[in-house]
Amino acid sequence: VSIFCQDIIDDGQADGEEEFAIITPDALECARTIIDATQNEVACEIPRIDVEVVVRSTSGCCSRLRIGLPPGYPSICKVTVLAAPKIFPRNQRDELSTKLQCRAEELLGSEAMMEIINECRNVMEDLEKNNQLRDQISEEVCADDTLGTNAEIMLSRRWIWVHHITKAERLKQIVTEAQHLKLGGYLKGGYPGVIVAEGDSNSC
């Protein structure tokens, strides 16, 4: 039996309305057997019910939330939860699922589905706020870097002594790197190797 919460998935139905979709005739027969056995107090095998819900945050961010209701729920078994919000990176998806599992353990013995859905929405909104703050800080850092380019340029000179520089390829790499950093100077190969670099302090 698959249950879809239609107040969350927008398909034109009224808020709060739920649709129970029977996937196969066998599933329907299984549901009838359980109902009859419960009414007649007859032991029967109770299947696990999996529910998939789309949770939407106040900003419109969506996450598919899969909730498993094992036999014995809620009195002796907790729900299993897996969240899959594609908008978040892997580490944040794992964090969301972990927090929901912890919440499910706290709710053992009581109805947990709506609590889990609300917890999912709250954690998603917290992650969104953290991401927005991180982006804002990044933009401010970039702005500071831009201002720094207009500040007074400080010149520096560096003398570098090494035991030897003998390979032609290594000498070429040093010159290429200096040109890339817009540095001038002097390069002596052989024994010892000497490099003099002169230019912007941030590049030296």
Q: Rounded distance, CA 99 to CA 105, Å?
A: 10
Write the single-letter amino acid at 195: I
pLDDT in tens, the chain (204 residues): 333 333 333 344 444 444 445 456 776 777 777 766 666 665 556 677 888 888 888 777 788 888 888 877 887 778 888 887 777 888 888 888 888 888 888 888 888 888 988 888 888 888 888 877 666 655 555 555 554 444 566 888 888 888 898 999 889 989 988 888 889 999 999 998 999 999 888 787
**Edge-to-edge strand list for the sheet holding 2-5:** 18-21, 2-5, 49-56, 62-69, 80-84
pTM for the whole structure: 0.45
Helices 113-149 and 90-106, axial angle in degrees (round to 10): 150
Radius of gyration of the chain (CA): 32
Helix (H, G, I), strand (E, B) or coil at 54: strand
How far is residue 6 from each of residues 18, 59, 100, 109, 130, measured CA to CA in Å?
A: 5, 19, 22, 26, 30
Q: Rounded distance, CA 137 to CA 129, Å?
A: 12
CA 195-200-204 angle, to 5 degrees, is: 35
How far is residue 34 from each of residues 1, 47, 48, 87, measured CA to CA in Å?
A: 12, 9, 12, 39
Write the single-letter amino acid at 71: P
